[in-house]
Amino acid sequence: MLSRLLSACAALSPPRTTVRERLDALPRQGLPLERPVTIRWNAQLVPFIEAETDRDLAFALGLVHAHLRHGQLELYRHAVFGRLSELAGPIASDADQALRILDLPRAAPAVLAAMSHEDRAWLDAYVEGVNWQIARAPRLPPDFSLLGLSREAFAAEDIIGIGRLAGADVNWMALPEVLRARNRPDFARTWARSLASGRGGTSFGAGEPGPAETLLSASRSGSNCVAVSASRSATGGALLASDPHLGITVPNFWVLVGLLSPSYWAVGFTIPGVPVVTVGRSERLAWGGTNMRAAASDLIDITEREDAAVVSRPVRIRTRLWRDARRTIRDSRFGPVVSDIPFLGTRTGECLALRWTGHDPSDEIGAFLRVMRARNVDEFRSAFAGFAVSPQNMLAADADGNVIHVLAARLPRRTWQVPLGPTIDADAADAGWASFAATTDLPFARNPPDGFFASANNRPTVSSDVPIGWFFSADERVRRLQALLSSREKVGPQGLMALQRDAISTGARDLARELVRRIDETPGAAAAGSGALAALRGWDGSYDAQARAPVPFETLLHDLLPAVYGVKDVAALPPEVKSWGVLVAVLPGDLDALAPDVRAQALRRSLGAAERNLSRFPTWGDMHRLEMNGILSRAPLIGGAFRYRSLPASGSRDTVQKTAHGFVDGRHGSFYGSQARQVSDLSDPDANWFVLLGGQDGWSGSEAYLDQVDLWAKGEYVRLPLRPETVAVEFPLLTRLWPSGEEERGGTP
Q: What are the C-alpha distances in Å from 186 to residues 190, 420, 574?
A: 6, 14, 9
Instruction: Using alpha carbons, select from 103, 105, 81 the residue that is nearest to residue 92.
Output: 81
Question: Which region among 212-226, 336-350, 488-502 has the lowest average model confidence (pLDDT)?
Answer: 212-226
Q: What is the pLDDT of residue 43?
A: 97
Q: Return the SS3 of 380.
A: helix
pLDDT digits (tens, 9 = 90+) for 175-218: 998 899 898 888 888 888 777 765 443 332 334 444 434 445 44
- C-alpha to C-alpha distance for 655 and 648, rounded to whole angstroms: 16
> With 90 as the cut, is the pLDDT of residue 747 above it?
no
- Res. 28: pLDDT tops 60: yes
Please name which of 254, 324, 356, 311 lies closest in space to residue 83, comparing C-alpha atoms. 324
Other beta carbons less than 10 A from residue 188's beta carbon = 12
Contact 567, 590 (CB under 8 A): no
pLDDT confidence of residue 743: 64
Q: Which residue from 381, 389, 397, 383 is spatially nearest to 442, judged by alpha carbons? A: 381
Query: Mean pLDDT of all residues in the chain?
Result: 93
Contact 351, 258 (CB under 8 A): no
Report residue 546 CA to chain centroid gap: 27
Instruction: Give the DSSP letter of residue 246.
Output: E
Residue 20 has phi, psi (to 5 degrees) of -60, -45
Q: Of 10-14, 61-65, 496-500, which range is least confident?
A: 10-14
Q: Which residues pair with 445 in a beta bridge?
A: 405
Task: Give the distance, in angstroms, between the CA of residue 596 and the centroid of all CA atoms in the same chain.
Answer: 43
Amino acid at 70: H
How much is the average pLDDT of 335-342? 97
DSSP state of 711: H
Query: Dihedrals φ, ψ of 563, to 5°?
Result: -70, -40
- How many Cβ atoms sit within 10 Å of the Cβ of residue 330? 17
Measured distance CA(401)–CA(234) in Å, rounded: 12
What pLDDT sits at residue 222? 75
Please classify residue 113 by burial: count the beta carbons closer than 10 Å to its beta carbon, then call 0-12 exposed, 13-18 middle and 19+ buried.
Answer: exposed
Count CA atoms closer than 13 A to 645's CA, side-chain side.
19
297-301 sheet: strands from edge to edge: 352-356, 297-301, 423-425
User: CA distances (Å), 118 to each of 52, 55, 360, 362, 724, in order?
Assistant: 16, 9, 21, 16, 26
- Residue 196, CB half-sphere, CA atoms under 13 Å: how many? 13
Three-state DSSP state, 575: helix
More confident residue, 202 or 77: 77
CA distance 104 to 98: 10
Q: Classify residue 465 as exposed, middle or buried by CB count within 10 Å of its CB (0-12, 13-18, 19+).
A: exposed
Looking at the predicted structure, is the pLDDT value of residue 748 above 60? no
pLDDT at 307 over 80: yes
Task: Quote the percentage of the chain above a pLDDT of 90.
Answer: 86
**Type of residue numbered 193:** R
Residue 739 pairs in a beta bridge with 31
Strand 411-412, strand 436-437: pairing: antiparallel
Tell me the DSSP string of 82-122.
Answer: T-THHHHGGGGHHHHHHHHHHTGGGGHHHHHHHS-HHHHHH
Residue 614 reports pLDDT greater than 80? yes
Task: Report the sign of the C-alpha dihedral through residues 664, 665, 669, 675, in that order.
Answer: positive
Residues of the chain above pLDDT 70, percent: 94
Whether the predicted pLDDT of 165 surpasses 70: yes
**What does the DSSP 8-state code read for residue 442?**
S
State the Cα–Cα distance between residues 390 and 98, nearest whole angstrom.
19
Q: Is the CB of residue 43 less than 8 Å from the CB of residue 247?
A: no
Answer whether residue 305 shows pLDDT above 70: yes
pLDDT tens digits, 532-553: 999 999 999 999 999 999 999 9
Q: What sign does the CA torsion over 204, 210, 211, 215 have?
A: positive
Which band of pLDDT confidence, cut at 50, 70 and 90, is reported for residue 6?
Answer: low
Does the model's pTM come out above 0.85? yes
| Residues β-bridged to residue 225 | 242, 455
pLDDT at position 119 is 98
Half-sphere exposure of 225 (CA within 13 A, CB side): 26
CA–CA gap between residue 109 and residue 124 (Å, rounded) = 14
**Cα(378)–Cα(383) distance, integer angstroms:** 9
Q: Residues with Cβ < 8 Å from 494, sequence gap 6 or more? A: none
pLDDT interval class at 416 (50, 70, 90): confident
Confidence of residue 482 (pLDDT cuts 50, 70, 90): very high
Exposed, middle or buried by CB within 10 Å (0-12, 13-18, 19+), for 541?
buried
Between 179 and 463, residue with greater pLDDT: 179
Residue 745: the pLDDT is: 56
